[in-house]
């Protein structure tokens, strides 16, 4: 929005209108209205007022002599009297008597308490300084007196009961207090929490068998596209893969990795996550975590040439990377499930670019009516995924990309490249369309098998940027 430069003045500073009272050397009480007031210390409790020094206010003169004042808070029903105390001077008349206000001596300082005001602070002057036109006077609060009518049962002043007068200097008028709109600190803390992001590198490779290329790819990606840095990098063994257990090759290695990822998630408690694999199964605990954080209000966009929908029973290869999406849907080894924070339901799922599925995987998708877009459909309209998320009414989205969704002629740094894939351009457009209409809370980039020498690819730079800017 266009900005306009304003003339220098003290601009838009609504404050509670206060009435400050003091005794003159003869012991006569005077009071004037102030808008320049602030709380200036919690311990000890102090308030600071600013009074025009050049115009010689009587109340300022008096308080500087007695080293004390009382700060009173009028109610909106006393707006006339408060305004009057701000336009007449005690040098001319007995202002307080004129409006029927009475005073009693404060108990802790030499200053008058105005009996009619519902809240009064007895203050001893501890500091004064003159800046520009005004003398700032800081008083340490020595006693607080309140009408019971403005307090709750815990002795807290309730603003709705006090009904303070709000002065609007910009328009020279008074306002009443509006409704409560939000809880202080909690509202900001909730936003702070929602912005907590974790970039994690999980070079888990065992889900794909003996090949270490995705392990090396994870480090190469971190080095070349994340400026060598991530919030966490999970330590993965490169020793021989552990044997098949419960139908899963590398069971112990994968379990160990899941435990480490969970430790990291529990330590950092992220509300957004960017995961760099590793194999296709590396980000499953991260997606499960996000699903828990957003209480199931999260679409899972699974962009992959494969289904990853086998179970330990149905998989002939025993390779876990062919089972990871089914695991995210809550069907895998019970011990693994303990490390997946939550399970998604099939309605959350949108699969994109799948083209090499086992019969069992096809059956699962058909039975559960999984939303699916083919490469050709997405090439024709990259906005389909964003539209489907909207139609399903999910606010948040987790995006998983297995790079083998791309056509090998476009991108080959992935171990299981499949023909007839997506173009890089379409993939980036799909992501931009999603980002434009949904809250992307998680992004997993998997199955990269580039080396340290593979640098400066604008496409991978764009993917890294997408993840870093979640």
Ligand X SMILES: Cc1cc2nc3c(=O)[nH]c(=O)nc-3n(C[C@H](O)[C@H](O)[C@H](O)COP(=O)(O)O)c2cc1C
CB of 92 to ligand X, least distance (A): 8
Which listed range, 54-62, 102-110, 337-345, 426-434, lies at the site for ligand X (CB under 6 A)? 54-62
Q: Per CB under 6 A, which of residues 76..135 are in contact with ligand X?
A: 83, 86-91
Q: Rule CB under 6 A: is residue 32 a binding residue for ligand X?
A: yes
Cross-sheet strand order for the sheet of 15-16: 15-16, 166-168, 173-175
Q: Rule CB under 6 A: is residue 69 a binding residue for ligand X?
A: no
Contact between 353 and 423 (Cβ < 8 Å): no
CA quadruple 323, 328, 329, 330: dihedral positive or negative?
Answer: positive
**Distance (Å, whole) CA 60 – CA 130:** 12
Q: Rule CB under 6 A: is residue 30 a binding residue for ligand X?
A: yes
Output 93 or 187, the one with its CB closest to ligand X: 93
Output 43 or 87, the one with its CB closest to ligand X: 87
**Distance (Å, whole) CA 435 – CA 468:** 13
Contact between 383 and 339 (Cβ < 8 Å): no
Q: Rule CB under 6 A: is residue 63 a binding residue for ligand X?
A: no
Q: Tell me which residue has tokens 């300022």.
A: 60
Which listed range, 28-36, 67-75, 139-147, 424-432, lies at the site for ligand X (CB under 6 A)? 28-36
Rg for the chain, CA atoms, rounded = 34
CB of 33 to ligand X, least distance (A): 4
CB of 34 to ligand X, least distance (A): 4
Bridge partners (DSSP) of residue 197 are 272
Q: Rule CB under 6 A: is residue 36 a binding residue for ligand X?
A: yes
Output 169 or 252, the one with its CB closest to ligand X: 169
Q: Rule CB under 6 A: is residue 34 a binding residue for ligand X?
A: yes
CB of 72 to ligand X, least distance (A): 13
Query: Quick one: angle between helices 384-392 and 424-437, nearest 10?
Result: 30
Output 65 or 338, the one with its CB closest to ligand X: 65
Q: Rule CB under 6 A: is residue 199 a binding residue for ligand X?
A: no
Output 35 or 325, the one with its CB closest to ligand X: 35
String marking each residue 159-178 x if it binds ligand X according to CB under 6 A: --------x-----------
Cross-sheet strand order for the sheet of 119-131: 29-34, 18-23, 68-73, 119-131, 134-146, 46-52, 37-41
Q: Rule CB under 6 A: is residue 48 a binding residue for ligand X?
A: no
Which uninterrupted H or E stretch holds 351? strand 349-352
CB of 29 to ligand X, least distance (A): 10
Beta strands in 35-168 (DSSP E): 37-41, 46-52, 68-73, 103-105, 112-114, 119-131, 134-146, 166-168
Q: Which residues bind ligand X (CB under 6 A)?
A: 17, 30, 32-36, 50-52, 57-59, 83, 86-91, 167
């Amino acid at each position: 929005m266009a900005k306009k430069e304003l003339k220098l003045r003290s601009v838009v500073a609504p404050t509670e209108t206060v009435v400050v009272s003091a005794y003159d050397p003869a012991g006569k009480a005077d009071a004037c209205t102030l808008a320049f007031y602030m709380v200036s210390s919690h311990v000890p409790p102090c308030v600071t007022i600013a009074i025009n020094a050049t115009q010689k206010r009587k109340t300022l003169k008096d308080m500087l002599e007695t080293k004390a004042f009382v700060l009173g808070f009028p109610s909106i029903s006393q707006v006339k009297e408060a305004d009057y105390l701000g336009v007449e001077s005690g040098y001319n008349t007995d202002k307080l008597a004129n409006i029927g206000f009475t005073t009693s001596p404060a108990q802790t300082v030499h200053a008058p308490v105005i009996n009619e005001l519902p809240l009064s602070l007895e203050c001893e002057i501890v500091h004064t300084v003159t800046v520009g036109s005004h003398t700032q006077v800081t008083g340490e609060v020595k006693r607080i007196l309140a009408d019971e009518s403005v307090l709750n049962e815990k002795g807290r002043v309730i603003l709705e009961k006090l009904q303070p007068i709000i002065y609007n200097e910009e328009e020279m008028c008074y306002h009443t207090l509006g409704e409560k709109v939000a809880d202080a600190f909690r509202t900001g803390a909730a936003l702070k929490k929602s912005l907590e992001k974790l970039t994690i590198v999980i070079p888990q490779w065992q889900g794909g068998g003996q090949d270490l290329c995705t392990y090396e790819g994870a480090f190469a990606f971190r080095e070349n596209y994340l400026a060598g840095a991530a919030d966490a990098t999970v330590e993965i063994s490169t020793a021989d893969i552990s044997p098949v257990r419960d139908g899963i090759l590398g069971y112990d290695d994968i379990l160990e990795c899941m435990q480490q990822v969970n430790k990291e998630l529990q330590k950092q408690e992220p509300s957004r996550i960017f995961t760099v694999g590793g194999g296709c199964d590396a980000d499953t605990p991260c997606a499960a975590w996000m699903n828990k954080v957003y209480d199931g209000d999260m679409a899972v966009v699974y962009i992959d040439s494969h289904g990853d929908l086998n179970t330990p029973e149905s998989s002939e290869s025993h390779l876990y990377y062919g089972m990871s999406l089914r695991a995210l849907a809550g069907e895998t080894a019970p011990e693994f499930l303990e490390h997946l924070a939550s399970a998604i339901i099939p309605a959350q799922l949108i699969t994109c670019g799948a083209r090499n599925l086992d019969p069992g995987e096809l059956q699962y998708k058909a039975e559960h009516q999984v939303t699916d877009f083919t490469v050709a459909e997405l090439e024709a309209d990259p906005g389909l995924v964003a539209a489907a998320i909207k139609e399903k009414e999910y606010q948040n989205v987790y995006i998983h990309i297995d790079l083998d969704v791309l056509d090998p002629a476009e991108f080959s740094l992935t171990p299981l490249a499949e023909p007839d894939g997506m173009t890089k351009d379409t993939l980036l457009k799909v992501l931009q369309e999603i980002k434009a209409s949904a809250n992307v809370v998680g992004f997993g980039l998997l199955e990269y098998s580039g080396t340290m020498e593979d640098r400066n690819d604008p496409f991978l730079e764009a993917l890294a940027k997408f993840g870093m800017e979640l």
